[in-house]
Chain A
């Protein structure tokens, strides 16, 4: 399968600081990437759809000014959590759409665990 990486895998930060998470498709180009959040023992929650060269599309209830998404190239999307607070502590997972026509598939990165103190 295709490979998606995320960096960092784990980050601890102080309340009020900003944290940037990178998502890279390593062996394919991804015009579309997705950002999810998952709290312990809960389901994946889609936060936003990241489109290369255009603005991200945010899901209802997700603050676009707090979760800044940039998809500047066909292999890289970044999520910046601005002015992080303890309630932003979560497991953030990206995925990349591998466009193979009718058999397109989404591959997930390994996730980034964020702890805001």
Chain B
């Protein structure tokens, strides 16, 4: 069974700190990796996608991918209370259209 694992949290960080969210996956055929943010009562919103090993930066967000270790992470710099949400890691296998989601990590940024 293809699995995506995330620490459920809650992860609490003070405002202005770096939040580090981690995700591991079991399927070595995984090709594409995504981070979605889901506020309570809302649908998921895509915030980062990464397709090759290394780092990808977009504003305060940095996604890191290490395919050898089957590990993908999301760093949020200068965390804001508005970043408080559940962050979903999603993985897509090559040749498949479906995403496999982790259960999500709940992040709380404390003012």
Contacts and interface: CB of A to CB of B under 8 A. Distances in A.
Contacts of B51: 102-103
Nearest to A31: B97
Contacts, number: 44
Interface stretch (B19-27, B38-46, B60-68, B74-82): B38-46
A108 B98 contact: no
Main secondary structure, interface of A, reads strand
Interface residues of B, number: 20
Main secondary structure, interface of B, reads strand
The contact size tier of chain A is 20 to 34
B53 to A, nearest CB: 14
The 7 closest A-B CB pairs, nearest first, are: A111-B43, A108-B43, A93-B43, A108-B44, A43-B103, A32-B97, A110-B43
Interface of A: 1, 32, 34, 43-44, 46, 49, 91, 93, 97, 102-111
